[in-house]
Amino acid sequence: MNILELRNITKKFPGSWLPAVDNLNLDVAMSENVALLGESGCGKTTILRMIAGFEVPDGGTIKINGQVVSGQGKFIEPQNRKVGIVFQDYALFPHKTVWENIIFGLFRLPESEVNKKASEIIELTGLQGLEKRYPHQLSGGQKQRVALARAMAPEPELILFDEPFSNIDSMRKQQMREDIKNIIKKTRATAIFVTHDTKDVMSIADKVSVIRQGRIVQTDNPQKIYTFPVNTYVADFFGKTNYIKAKVSPEGYKTAMGIIKTKSPLPADIKDVLLSIRPEEFTTCKEKNDCFYGSIVKERFMGEYKELTCKVENPSGENTEIIIYTIPNAQCTNGKCYFKPNEEKIHVLKKHDEY
Amino acid sequence: MVKHKGRNLFDIQFQRQLRNPWIWGAFFTALLIAFPLVIVLSNIFIPGDATWQHISRNLLPGYILNTIVLMTGVALLTFLLGVSTAWIVSMYNFPGHRFLSWALILPIAIPAYINGFTWAGILDYTSPVYVFLRNNFGIDSGQYLFFNILSLPGAVIILSLSLYPYVYLISKAYFTRQSSSLFEVASSLGRNHGDIFFRVALPMARPAIVAGISLALMEVLNDYGLVRYFGVDTFTTGIFTAWFAFSHPQSALKLSAYLMIFVLALIIMEKTQRGQMRYDTLGNTYRPLTKIKLSRRRAVLATILCLIPFLSGFAIPVVMLLYWSSLTFEYVVNYRFTELLANSFLLAASASALVTLLALFISFTVRSFPSRLVKLLARVATLGYAIPGAVVAIGILILLLWIDSNLGISSPAGIRIAITGTWFSLVFAYLVRFMAVGYNSVDSGMEKISTSLDEASRSLGVSNLKTLRKVNTPLLTGSIISAALLVFIDVLKELPLTLILRPFNFDTLAIRAFEFASDERIAEAAPAAMIIIITGMIPVFLLNRLMGRIG
């Protein structure tokens, strides 16, 4: 069952030509963690604010737990939506202690239950011992956990996160991502993350929607989106990839550097395609065999791996440059390298998927 | 693909506004405040009768001329006093610069009419100063020491002494905000200080300076006490004459409408000169000005230059008033005086409480439900500050008289109970006139609170009212106190509006001081005047502490 349904949501801000959100549809199932990923200004935060009720859509319907909260002539105010939010700046009340912040939304419960609920959530978020502190006495990570605890305490239908890790220094980010993910998984809460960081997405989300100019470009699990992006925009967003022009032929993809074989079925309806192969989907070989051969034109040491740029020459003069990630002590020497792609991870973009 | 159709009146956004009690509240507040102003303006098109013919033919030209001369004179003099002292204090290091940098604000604590009658008293034939100079040095220049201050030039000087701090404060804030590299670049290009001032600082600060002068000129248009005392006939004195001497409301209304045209012209002038002017700011490289140490001779000159407005605008009048107070204290400060004090303070406190509460409420409405309509309502609600007190008073008086005669409540004895000339009408008028003072203070505090705090509260299911009470208000304590204080002081020293609307036989400190002075009993006016001045000094001290904290 879907906790959240967005249907044909449109929002245009006065003074702007393009809609911030353009005819957008989104479904979020119970206990699902969905990430809305996009560059700043793509409309992802506007979507979040419309779900929370801080912006009014120009058109379309939003349903939370089957109930219309916006659209069809109805509008439920934010205080009646049961949607929790963790803000980018955490928005902790500076004049209230951690404890007071957490119980702020529990005013409808009798006192004994407030204490029980707050203690539970404090234990869950690992904030024991910090109850009497004020927000200015907390570290960034602690503040974020307080913000999460406060949002979760009233048991909202879903929790929204606005750029949750952008204010945390990179050393602690991964730990924070895991902590948050564990807390969410433990409570089986439904969560929506808005972020521009693909690493957030990879570590936290079950499902990602990539957003561009107010529309969803692709929705899938992070692994799939990474390997099989629908177009070059999504492919580029998730990191480096090799684009290779190819013609479909019975034995494989015919490219300037030779035939690339694949284990997936070849597209039947189209001749000219663009292949996308991630740099780590190449392996180096000891000798020629059925590998490609190129001279190394650039070598970059990146710590845990090495980035090689290989130039594959073609008699007709149409050279191809391929980027490969290898282990630092790969079998490439003397400025030459044999390599071949993983035949299962060759992704085909049709020509018009190019941006 | 959904077509983006134009907003229709019944879309969700509009319906949401219709259902919103906050927006309705802001709407009624704005309506209430706009009403008296609309009444005044609408009168301009009604043809006048014989009395108006007389006034417009024989008196109006004089009012216009005097007003223009006053405005021009005050503009020039506040510019000279305000900008020169601001530049000296923010650029140079000389003995006493720290003290003078805030002492120069102090004259703002003395209302122009008090400063006016004090100086008239000092320069009068019988004043202790004049007596001393005459007896010991044989200085005798007739009835007045030096010159007759009760004149148009005298009014220009006194008004400027009371109002230059507006220009001083705003230009000083502007000069000190500039990065020193800006001035250093100019000197590295071979410019001397004079050049830097005239070619860099002055053109850059122009919008700020003009804004300061406009504020001062609005106070000129508002002034009644000083021009009446000095015998300079302007619109405000004309309104009083039409209302009280001719008993001719229509003429008072028409004069008010004409006066509002002056106000409007001033606002438009200020807005257009500002134009599209936006300057590039120097971003992260900001380095505060390092003050230049002056040579001894120049330092003495700078000190003297800055001492002149401080002494004549504050120190001398205050010393004089203290001296007079000591003479009349026992005689004036009796049970009648306590009653005055209670009247003034209660009135100021209730007006300031109401203004602050409504300001808080409107500021929160604009913040929580921003839309063009709501922003417009907030602007309308704060319109009154530009409108002279006498005009506000006339508008309200006409409105209330109409309500009294048409809807007045009859008491069982058959006597109609009128709301005209009650506390209610006074507080209403102060609300109209001083809403902007409270609003600006509260709103600037509100802007510093991240909106995500309110949103966090609302997303936790907390109502708007409770959010305002539990989240915003505790974080706004400082702004709320300063809003209440500023309104309190403005009400305490207010004269023209109170004179027109006060209940029968009801006096305030300001009125009593003005009446004593008008009866040539200046010494007896001193204790009331001193209380007004001392209260008015509180925000100057607070401002000084704040500036100290910023550095």
Q: List, for residues B331-345, the tens digit of each pLDDT value.
A: 777 778 888 888 899
Check if the beta carbon of residue A257 is closer than 8 Å to that of residue A277: no
Q: What proportion of chain A, given as a percentage, has pLDDT over 70?
A: 97
Phi, psi of B448 (to 5 degrees): -80, -10
Structure tokens at B211: 């804004």
Q: Express each pLDDT in B47-57 by its tens digit.
A: 878 888 888 88
User: Comparing C-alpha atoms, which of A53, A61, A75, A76 is closest to residue A27?
Assistant: A61
A52 lies within 8 A of chain B by CB? yes
Q: Report the alpha-carbon distance of residue A193 to residue A161 in Å, rounded.
A: 5
Which pLDDT score, from 0 to 100, does residue A122 have?
95
Does the pLDDT at position A16 exceed 90? Answer: no
Minimum mean pLDDT range among A301-305, B100-104, B180-184: B180-184
Q: Report the alpha-carbon distance of residue A167 to residue B314 in Å, rounded.
A: 51
pLDDT band at B462 (very low <50, low <70, confident <90, very high): very high
User: Comparing C-alpha atoms, which of B442, B444, B470 is closest to residue B356?
Assistant: B442
Q: Which residue in the set A56, A94, A95 is minimally distant from B13, CB to CB?
A: A56
User: Comparing C-alpha atoms, which of A276, A268, A288, A178 is closest to residue A231?
Assistant: A276
- Residue owning tokens 């605008």: B313
Does the pLDDT at position B9 exceed 50? Answer: no
Check if the beta carbon of residue A20 is closer than 8 Å to that of residue A46: yes
- Chain B nearest CA to A273, separation (Å): 29
Q: Express each pLDDT in B404-455 by its tens digit.
A: 777 655 544 444 555 666 788 899 999 999 999 999 989 988 988 999 999 9
- Chain B nearest CA to A223, separation (Å): 30
Q: Which residue in the set A54, A70, A154 is minimally distant from B455, CB to CB?
A: A54
Does the pLDDT at position A119 exceed 80? Answer: yes
Which pLDDT score, from 0 to 100, does residue B355 have?
95
Which pLDDT score, from 0 to 100, does residue B413 have?
47
- Chain A nearest CA to B458, separation (Å): 5
A89 lies within 8 A of chain B by CB? yes
> Virtual CA dihedral for A125, A129, A135, A141, nearest 10 degrees?
-40
Query: Which element (helix H / strand E) includes B409?
Result: strand B409-410
pTM, rounded to two decimals:
0.83
Q: Do A87 and B474 touch (CB under 8 A)?
A: no
User: Comparing C-alpha atoms, which of A74, A36, A30 is closest to residue A216?
Assistant: A36
Buried b (16+ CB within 10 A) or exposed e, B47-73: ebeeebeebbeebbeebeebbebbbeb
Question: In the β-sheet with A292-301, what is the strand arrangement from edge to edge?
Answer: A282-285, A336-341, A292-301, A306-312, A320-326
Which pLDDT score, from 0 to 100, does residue B307 have?
93
Per-chain mean pLDDT for chain B: 84
B9 lies within 8 A of chain A by CB? no
Is residue B505 exposed (0-12), middle (13-18) or buried (19+ Cβ within 10 Å)?
Answer: exposed
Q: What proportion of chain B, given as a percentage, has pLDDT over 90?
A: 33
> Virtual CA dihedral for B494, B499, B503, B508, nearest 10 degrees?
50
pLDDT band at B8 (very low <50, low <70, confident <90, very high): very low
Does the pLDDT at position B7 exceed 70? Answer: no
Does the pLDDT at position A159 exceed 60? Answer: yes
Beta bridge partner(s), residue A63: A5, A68
Check if the beta carbon of residue A194 is closer than 8 Å to that of residue A161: yes
Which pLDDT score, from 0 to 100, does residue B10 have?
52
Q: Do B4 and A10 touch (CB under 8 A)?
A: yes
Q: Which chain B positions have a beta carbon within 8 Å of A88's beta carbon?
A: 452
Check if the beta carbon of residue B59 is closer than 8 Å to that of residue B142: no
Q: Which residue in the set B4, B13, B459 is minimally distant from A52, CB to CB?
A: B459
Beta bridge partner(s), residue B399: none
**CA triplet A11, A54, A85: central angle to 5 degrees?**
120
Which residue type does B262 have? F
Which pLDDT score, from 0 to 100, does residue B4 have?
43
Whole-angstrom Cα Rg for chain B: 25
Buried b (16+ CB within 10 A) or exposed e, A87-116: bbbbbbbeebbbbbbbbbbbeebeeeebee
Which pLDDT score, from 0 to 100, does residue A69 have?
93
Which pLDDT score, from 0 to 100, does residue B281 have?
52
Q: Which chain A positions have a beta carbon within 8 Å of B455's beta carbon?
A: 52, 54, 78, 85, 87, 91
Is residue B400 exposed (0-12), middle (13-18) or buried (19+ Cβ within 10 Å)?
Answer: buried
A94 lies within 8 A of chain B by CB? yes
A111 lies within 8 A of chain B by CB? no
Q: Do A78 and B474 touch (CB under 8 A)?
A: no
Which pLDDT score, from 0 to 100, does residue B5 have?
45
Q: Do A95 and B2 touch (CB under 8 A)?
A: no
Q: What's the mean pLDDT in B240-253? A: 86
Which pLDDT score, from 0 to 100, does residue B96 have?
85
User: Comparing C-alpha atoms, which of B289, B272, B220, B230 is closest to residue B75?
Assistant: B220
Per-chain mean pLDDT for chain A: 88
E strands present in B204-313: 292-293
Which pLDDT score, from 0 to 100, does residue A286 have?
79
- Look up the CATH architecture of domain B38-314: Orthogonal Bundle (1.10)
Q: Which chain B positions have a beta carbon within 8 Å of A103's beta carbon?
A: none
Q: Report the alpha-carbon distance of residue B106 to residue B537 in Å, rounded.
A: 7
Same CATH fold, B333-507 and B38-314?
yes
Domain spans in chain B, listed from the N-terminal domain onward: 38-314, 333-507
Q: Do A82 and B460 touch (CB under 8 A)?
A: no
- Chain B nearest CA to A285, separation (Å): 51
B333-507 CATH, one of 3.30.450.20, 1.10.3720.10, 3.40.1160.10, 2.60.120.10: 1.10.3720.10
The DSSP-derived string for B58-98 is IIHHHHHHHHHHHHHHHHHHHHHHHHHHHHHHHHEE-TTHH
Q: Do B462 and A104 touch (CB under 8 A)?
A: yes
Minimum mean pLDDT range among A71-75, A272-276, B125-129, B530-534: B125-129
Which pLDDT score, from 0 to 100, does residue B145 have?
66
Which pLDDT score, from 0 to 100, does residue B167 have?
92
pLDDT band at B550 (very low <50, low <70, confident <90, very high): very low
Does the pLDDT at position B215 exceed 70? Answer: yes
Does the pLDDT at position A36 exceed 50? Answer: yes
B189 lies within 8 A of chain A by CB? no
Buried b (16+ CB within 10 A) or exposed e, B442-460: bbebbeebbbbbbbbbbbb
The total of other beta-carbon atoms located within 10 Å of residue B138's CB is: 7
pLDDT band at A17 (very low <50, low <70, confident <90, very high): confident
**CA triplet B248, B254, B260: central angle to 5 degrees?**
140
Where are the alpha helices (H) located in B142-189, listed in sequence order?
A: 152-177, 180-188
Q: Which chain B positions have a beta carbon within 8 Å of A60's beta carbon?
A: 2
Q: Express each pLDDT in A222-249 by its tens digit.
A: 988 988 888 889 998 888 899 988 888 8
ipTM score of complex: 0.82
Q: Do A75 and B12 touch (CB under 8 A)?
A: yes
Q: What's the mean pLDDT in A150-160? A: 93
Q: Report the alpha-carbon distance of residue A266 to residue A251 in Å, rounded.
A: 9
Does the pLDDT at position B474 exceed 90? Answer: yes
Q: Report the alpha-carbon distance of residue A341 to residue A279 in Å, rounded.
A: 9
Query: Which element (helix H / strand E) includes B459?
Result: helix B451-459
B4 lies within 8 A of chain A by CB? yes
Which pLDDT score, from 0 to 100, does residue B551 have?
36
Please indicate whether residue B499 or residue B551 has the higher confidence score (pLDDT): B499
Which pLDDT score, from 0 to 100, does residue B141 have?
66
Minimum mean pLDDT range among A31-45, B38-52, B76-90, B233-247: B38-52
- Chain A nearest CA to B173, separation (Å): 30
Is residue B263 exposed (0-12), middle (13-18) or buried (19+ Cβ within 10 Å)?
Answer: middle
Does the pLDDT at position B288 exceed 70? Answer: no
Q: Report the alpha-carbon distance of residue B343 to residue B362 in Å, rounded.
A: 28
Structure tokens at B346: 């209660």
Q: Report the alpha-carbon distance of residue B439 to residue B367 in Å, rounded.
A: 13
Which pLDDT score, from 0 to 100, does residue A35 have?
94
Q: Do B462 and A58 touch (CB under 8 A)?
A: no
Q: What's the mean pLDDT in A90-109? A: 92
